Amino acid sequence: MTMPRVLAIMGSGETAPTMVSTHRSLVARLGKPVRATVIDTPYGFQENSGELAERAVAYFRKSVNIDISVAGLLRLGGDGADPVAVERGLRLVNDSAYVFAGPGSPTYALRQWRDTPLREMLEAKLRDGGIVTFASAAALTLGSHTVPVYEIYKVGEEPRWEAGLDLLGSLGINAAVIPHFDNAEGGNHDTRFCYLGETRLVRLESELPDGHYVLGIDEHTGLVIDLDSGEASVVGNGAVTLRVRGKSSVFPTGSVIPLDTLRTAGTGGVPAGAVSPASDRPAAGSGADAGTNDREPADGLAGRSAVHSAAFRAALSSRDAEGAVRAALALEQSIVDEADDQETLTRARAELRAMISALGDAAVGGVQDRREVVGPYVEAMLAVRATVRAEKRYDLSDVIRDAFDALGVEVRDTPSGAEWGLRD
């Protein structure tokens, strides 16, 4: 199954009922089971970061009907960073088909992501297949420039831009993303445009390079950019605004914007009324960008890295420890033999580090299926539990259930009997 290439940008409400249908429609395009990861970096500095991650996991499980892993990338550099945890988190992101990030501080996230392979991983998903959903603070990082919101609105620092992740730039879109575009929390003072207000936004607009513009996303609203169809759909409650030096083109929910419009908006390419309903648009794959989805691996080290990485993942999936080690060693040899430029070498080394991290996890947990190891013991205890339940000794039944829960074994009672599974 060829995975879709989608970048979804949400202005807010990313874990609210408003965006449930959007998340569901996105994950429905992926094969099951969906491998999904939440990048927790943007709120990694907060004392309640663990609670925020748990809320995201609960939201996706209850409302979107998928299990989502937490990357555990609170810190990626400096004294507080654990290199083993960082590599494990980066590997989770790399191996996921659906990647989500949301609230927090854009500048903190960007500092942590600097000099790591994260941007390249996200770019690869949009090039080769995958869905990236960034909302709120994470959305602020996507453009060429980002707004240091906390520093300006809370601390009172002078309005300024900081360098963004510029994932949009890899798509040919020269824009600064501003979520919470229609915010009205200020009441009697202007908190539109992610708490900047009109005066500060005008000042910042004048400092953008020629050809760049502001991409505004209202609260509880999203822009779903489908790179295969060459179109972007506005979803949710509000609108998306393309603003160039104070002049705005507004696209309400239900609009479909050609990808070329997003690419040329900064140079005067936003035609008035460039809105059309989705039903009038050509099918996916027939748009202007349909022919750009070239997913053949590159030659040289980049190509061999892709081959060895695929072999490594296949070996781990089939629980072939020797095959996984062989693939890792083959990549290491390719790095020695074929490093042709620093950028390619850096990517290959990052892939090798991810392999080493995965082998470390395999060494701890084993490559054998955990169900095969614990299954006989679980089944034996379930038989005991069934006996005591039949004797109406529910106190003993609860003791067994609680023991299972403490060991990470989830037991579900069904009309046909007890079913069990292992928590991740």
DSSP 151-182: IIIIS-PPP--EE---TTGGGT--EEEE-STT
Task: Please give the share of the chain, as a percent, with pLDDT higher than 70.
Answer: 89
Confidence (pLDDT) at 145: 98
Confidence (pLDDT) at 233: 97
204 in Cβ contact with 147 (< 8 Å)? yes
**111-165: pLDDT as tens digits:** 999 999 999 999 999 999 999 999 999 999 999 999 999 899 889 999 999 999 9
Higher pLDDT, 179 or 77: 179
Return d(Cα 140, Cα 146) in angstroms, integer.
6
Average pLDDT (269-278) is 46
Higher pLDDT, 239 or 390: 239
pLDDT band at 314 (very low <50, low <70, confident <90, very high): confident
Confidence (pLDDT) at 275: 41
Q: What is the pTM for the complete model shown?
A: 0.70
pLDDT band at 281 (very low <50, low <70, confident <90, very high): very low
Average pLDDT (70-89) is 92
Cα–Cα distances (Å) from 127 to 168, 278, 289, 306, in that order, read: 12, 24, 12, 14
Relative to beta strand 221-226, strand 98-101 is unpaired
167 in Cβ contact with 7 (< 8 Å)? yes
Question: Does the pLDDT at position 288 exceed 60?
Answer: no
Identity of the residue numbered 217? I
Confidence (pLDDT) at 375: 81
Return d(Cα 393, Cα 381) in angstroms, integer.
15
DSSP 52-89: HHHHHHHHIIIII---EEE---S--SSTT--HHHHHHH
Question: Does the pLDDT at position 234 exceed 50?
Answer: yes
Task: Please give the share of the chain, as a percent, with pLDDT higher than 90.
Answer: 57
Token pair for 153: 């609105």
Confidence (pLDDT) at 193: 94
Higher pLDDT, 357 or 242: 242
Residue recorded with tokens 């809370």? 154
Average pLDDT (10-23) is 95
**83-105: pLDDT as tens digits:** 999 999 999 999 999 999 999 99
Confidence (pLDDT) at 109: 97
Helix or strand holding residue 227 (H, E): none
Q: Is 317 exposed, middle or buried (0-12, 13-18, 19+ CB in 10 A)?
A: exposed
**351-403: pLDDT as tens digits:** 887 888 777 777 666 655 667 778 888 888 888 988 888 888 888 888 888 88
Confidence (pLDDT) at 68: 97
The answer to which of 26-40, 51-65, 333-347 has the lowest mean pLDDT is 333-347
Token pair for 191: 């908190």
pLDDT band at 289 (very low <50, low <70, confident <90, very high): very low
Return d(Cα 276, Cα 21) in angstroms, integer.
21
Confidence (pLDDT) at 90: 96
Q: Name which of 198, 180, 168 is nearest 265 in CA terms.
A: 168
The answer to which of 251-255, 340-344, 406-410 has the lowest mean pLDDT is 340-344
Return d(Cα 330, Cα 327) in angstroms, integer.
5
**Mean pLDDT score of the chain, rounded to an integer?**
86
Q: What is the Rg, in whole angstroms, of the alpha carbon atoms belonging to the chain?
A: 24
The answer to which of 203-212, 254-263, 281-290, 305-314 has the lowest mean pLDDT is 281-290
Question: Does the pLDDT at position 30 exceed 60?
Answer: yes
Question: Does the pLDDT at position 286 exceed 50?
Answer: no
Higher pLDDT, 269 or 25: 25
Question: Does the pLDDT at position 287 exceed 60?
Answer: no
Eight-class DSSP state of 43? G
Confidence (pLDDT) at 339: 58
Q: Name which of 381, 337, 331 is nearest 356 in CA terms.
A: 331
